[in-house]
Amino acid sequence: IKFLSRAANGSLMAQSVTPLQRLKFNNVALKKLPLNSSLEPGSRTVTGACFSRVQPQPQPPLKPTFVAVSEAALALLGLNADDVLCDPHGAEYLSGSRMIPGSEPAAHCYCGHQFGHLVEAGAEQSSNPISTSPCGRWEIQVKGAGLTPYSRQSDGRKVLRSSIREFLCSEAMLALGIPTTPAGSLVTSDLYVQRDAFYSGNPRPERCSVVLRIAPTFIRFGSFEIFHPVDDFTGRHGPSVGRTDIRAQILDYVIETFYPEIQRRHLDRQERNASFFREVTVRTAKLVALWQSVGFCHGVLNTDNMSILGLTIDYGPFGFMDRFDPEFVSNASDKKGRYSYEAQPYVCRWNLARLAEALGTELQSAKAGTILDEFMTIYQDCYLDIMRRKLGLLRQQQPEDVELVADLLKTMHITGADFTNTFRLLSAVSCPAGEQKDRDSTDSVVELIVGQCASLEELKVANHLTMQPGELKMILSTAETNPGMFNMVANQPEVAKQLEKIGRLKELLVINEVELKIKQRYHWQRWVKQYRRRLAHECDEVSDPAAVEKERVRSMNSTNPAVVLRNYIAQNAIEAAERGDFSEVQQLLKVLENPYSVSVDLERPVWSAGSGSVQADGNSIKGQEVKENTKRKAAADTHQIPYNSKPPAWARTICVT
C-alpha cells in the first residue's frame, strides 16, 4: 500500500510505506514447528500441531481506537509512538483487525494445570518480526483479537477493564526491572460483548479491546503439556498425546533458539536437556524472588501461565500487596488461597515438576528431581540478596541478615504496614552517629512508618478466621479433653495460623485506636533499633562513612519503588476509560515508567474512583458494595489521592477475579 503526499512543487509523489508496513517478518516458529493450516472457523481440537493459522476478524461496526501506546515497548521493534499513531491503519494493524504486510497470524496450542488440574487451553494470534532480542527477533501477539481453534466456549475477545490492567502492569514490571512481556499498545473499539465477571447472572456489555504483547517467544510450560497422557484424576489428556516426535521438535527449537549456549555446550542430548531444565529452574526461582520483593501476586500461576524463558506473562487477576500479609490473595476466585503471596515460590516449584513430567523421556527423572531439590535454595539466596539491597546492606553479608529480614516482615505483618511505602521510608533511617539529631531523625521516620500502618478496624478484618467454625471449635475443644492430640494438631501450619489469628483478635478486641498506635510505635522502634545496629557494620573500617551512607540511600531509593500499580489506581484509570476518557491511562503509564522517582507526575493527585461502576478489572466491585461506590462518587468531589498514597479504606472493596 502506498500513500501519496504533495511535493513542494505541488505535484503528487509516492510516499514510502509506513514504519509498521516496513516491519520484517520471518515467521520462523511457524516454519520450524508443526502448523495446522486449516482455517475452519470455531473452536475445535487440533492434533499434531503447535500452531494453527488464523485470520483477522474485523466485525462491523468495529472502529479500533488507540487508548495508549508504550514508547519503551515499541522501541524493541524499532518503532516509536508516532510511527503507530500516525499510521492510518495503525489501530487496525495492532488490534489484529488487519494483517501487517508479511505477517502470518497463528494461534498457539497449549494445555496446562489450572488450580492443580489438567485442562486444554490456547493462545492468541502472533507473528515474528525481526529486531534486536536475545534470539534476534521478537514475537508480537494481539491478545483479545477474536476466535481461535482454542477458544473453547469463549468468543476470543478481551474487554477494556482487563486490557487496561494487563497493559499497565506489563509496563510497570518492565520499569521495575522484572522480566516481563512488554505491551506495545492498547486498542479499544465500539464492538461490545456481554461479560458476567462474577458469574452472578448479571452480565453487562463491555467494550472489546486488544493488547499488543511482545516477547522473544510465548512458549510456556503448558506448550509441552499438549503431549500429556490421560490424567488419572480428570481423565483428560493433551491433544497430541503420544507424539514424542513433536515434543522433541519443540524442545530442540526452544533450546537451539533461546538457549544457544546450552546447545553449544552439550553434545549429549540428555545432558543438554538437563542443563536446559536447570536454567529454566534458575530463571523461575529468580523471577518469583523478584515478585516477592515488590509484593506482586500473580493470581493465576497455572502451568500455562509460566514462561519457558522465565518471564512474567498473562496478567489477569494480579495484585500488588498494600498492607503486608503473607496470605494475600489477589484473585477473588482463589477461595482456597492456592496462589497466595506466600505460596508463590512453592507453586512455581510444583509447576516446574509438571514441566519435568511433560518432557517425559527427554529428561531423566532422577536428574529432574536433583534439580528441583535446588529450587528453594536458589530462590532463598536470590530473595535474600534482593532484600539486602532493599535494606541498603551493600558492603557485607552477615548471617544475622536472615533474622533481620524475617523480623522486619513479622513487624510489618503485626502492625499491618503498607509494604511499598514502608520499604521506601527505610532509606531515611540514618546510620547511628550518637548524636541527638540522629535519634530525632529516627523517631520521625518511625512516626512516618506508623502512619502507614493499619487501623484497628482493618486489622480486625485482616485477622478473620478462614477455617470452618465447626472444625475450629472441635480442635479447640481437644485442648481440654486431649491435650496431647491438641498439641499435634496445633503444630499443623494451617491450624497454627488460625490459632495465631485468634490470639491477635483477642488482643485487638480489648484495645482502642490510641493504644494500637502505641503498640505499633513500640514494634517499629524495636526493629529500627535492630536495623541501625546492622547499618553500623556497613561503616566498619571505612574512611568516609558519609560516602557509604550516601550510596546506601541512593541504592535503596533505586531498589524500593515509590509507586506500584495498586488496584485502586488501576480502577481510577478503568472507570475514566469506560467513560471515554483515556487521559488517566496515559498519565498513569508515565508515572509507572519511572517508579523509583518522586516526580511532579507522581505527586499529582488523582481523583478517588467514584463513577459508581460495579466493575474492577478482570473483575469488579462486589454487588453489595455498590452503595459504597455511590458514597465514593460523592467523595470524589472533595477528596484526592496521590499515586504514592497508602490506599484509602474503600480500596479494600475492589475485588478482582
Sequence-distant (6+) residues with CB within 8 A of 347 are: 301, 338, 339
Q: How far apart are CA 616 and CA 444, in angstroms?
A: 37
Q: Judge whether 342 and 298 are in contact, CB under 8 Å.
A: no
Q: How far apart are CA 554 and CA 552, in angstroms?
A: 5
Q: Judge whether 15 and 3 are in contact, CB under 8 Å.
A: yes
Options 83, 87, 304, 314, the catalytic residue: 304
Q: How far apart are CA 305 and CA 314, in angstroms?
A: 6
Sign of CA dihedral 582, 586, 588, 592: positive
Phi-psi region of 531 (alpha: psi -120 to 50; beta: other; left: phi over 0): alpha
Query: How many of the other CB atoms lie within 10 Å of CB of 392?
Result: 26
Q: Which three cell numbers stand for residue 361?
A: 523421556
Q: How far apart are CA 619 and CA 628, in angstroms?
A: 17
Q: Which three cell numbers stand for residue 559?
A: 531498589
Question: In 3-state terms, what secondary structure has residue 13?
Answer: strand
Q: How far apart are CA 434 and CA 202, in angstroms?
A: 64
Q: How far apart are CA 404 and CA 530, in angstroms?
A: 8
Q: How far apart are CA 530 and CA 90, in angstroms?
A: 56
Q: How far apart are CA 525 and CA 600, in angstroms?
A: 32
Q: Judge whether 97 and 64 are in contact, CB under 8 Å.
A: yes
Q: What is the DSSP string of 146-189?
A: ---TT-TTS-SBEEHHHHHHHHHHHHHHHHHT--B--EEEEEEE
Sequence-distant (6+) residues with CB within 8 A of 304 are: 110, 111, 112, 113, 114, 121, 220, 221, 222, 225, 314
User: Angle at Cα 566 formed by Cα 584 and Cα 464, nearest 5°?
Assistant: 145
Q: Judge whether 46 and 36 are in contact, CB under 8 Å.
A: yes
Amino acid identity of residue 569, one-letter, is I
Helix residue spans in 451-566 (DSSP H):
456-462, 469-481, 483-490, 493-508, 513-538, 545-557
Kindly report the backbone phi and psi dihedral angles of residue 296, in degrees, each rounded to the nearest multiple of 5, phi listed first. -90, 130
Residue of 286, 292, 284 lying closest to 381 (CA atoms): 286
Residue 304 catalytic? yes
Positions annotated as catalytic residues are 304
